[in-house]
Amino acid sequence: KTTVFNVITGIYPPTSGEIFCQKENIGGLPSHKITQKGIVRTFQNIRLFPALTVLENIIIAYHFRTHYSILSGILRDENYHREEEEMSKQAMELLRLFDLHTYYNNPAGSLPYGEQRKLEIARALATKPSILLLDEPAAGMNPYETIKLMELVKKIKEDFQLTIFLIEHHMQFVMGICERIMVMDFGVQIAEGTPEEIQKNPTVIGAYLGEEKKDVKNS
């Protein structure tokens, strides 16, 4: 599943086949070009800049869409300062949405694990994507953190009007936010449908629970 995300986002080149987004073949494009198309992702293993502050981690992502020239950046002219100030303001607003604003001046690596997860998602959103790929965002989180993250992802979808693709093994998390689910077993798709359909699918129940009657949602 992660390999699919890696191919979509240009980390791995496809060995065969094509990848289309909005009728455009994006297969084989480098990662920064994929991001320019509005597709961003998070990782199973958190990839922040741990020595930079929380705010700086967000501002770096905003730099992806800066408009001032290289010369403005060197000279630190009016255009540079105006845009940098606006990026800092937007970054703080994003941190408030994620309830991370109190950490803004802390090194990102000093944050608790769950907060680092949230920061990585916030940084992805700072690129202003249309498609967000979340790779096991609830991994390593305790039950309380998982519920709060689930609520946050719902809010992100509503507020930012995004398409979100989610890889996740936490069934409650998946059932709580997904409109449509694809289930894979050893690299093979075994089911696709709404959460209600997946909960009742005997193939899914057998593959993941090893029995016929257990409720998938509560596993």
The confidence score (pLDDT) of residue 213 equals: 47
* pLDDT at residue 72, as a whole number: 83
Radius of gyration of the chain measured on its C-alpha atoms: 19
The interaxial angle of helices 143-160 and 113-125, nearest 10 deg, is 10
The length of the chain is: 219
Alpha-helical regions (H) of 63-107: 70-75, 78-97
* Rounded Cα gap, residues 67 and 148, in angstroms: 35
Amino acid at position 58, single letter: I
- What residues form DSSP beta bridges with 135? 167
- Cβ(73)–Cβ(80) below 8 Å: yes
Tens place of pLDDT per residue across the chain (219 aa): 888 999 999 999 889 999 999 889 999 899 999 999 999 999 988 999 999 999 999 999 988 777 778 888 888 888 878 888 888 999 999 999 999 999 999 999 999 999 999 999 999 999 999 999 999 999 888 999 999 999 999 999 888 889 999 999 888 899 989 999 999 888 899 999 999 999 899 999 888 766 554 455 554
Per-residue confidence (pLDDT) for residue 195, from 0 to 100: 93
Single-letter code of the amino acid located at 12: Y
Residue-range domain boundaries for the chain = 180-218
Amino acid 71: pLDDT: 82
- Three-state DSSP at 181 gives strand
The predicted structure's pLDDT at residue 77: 85
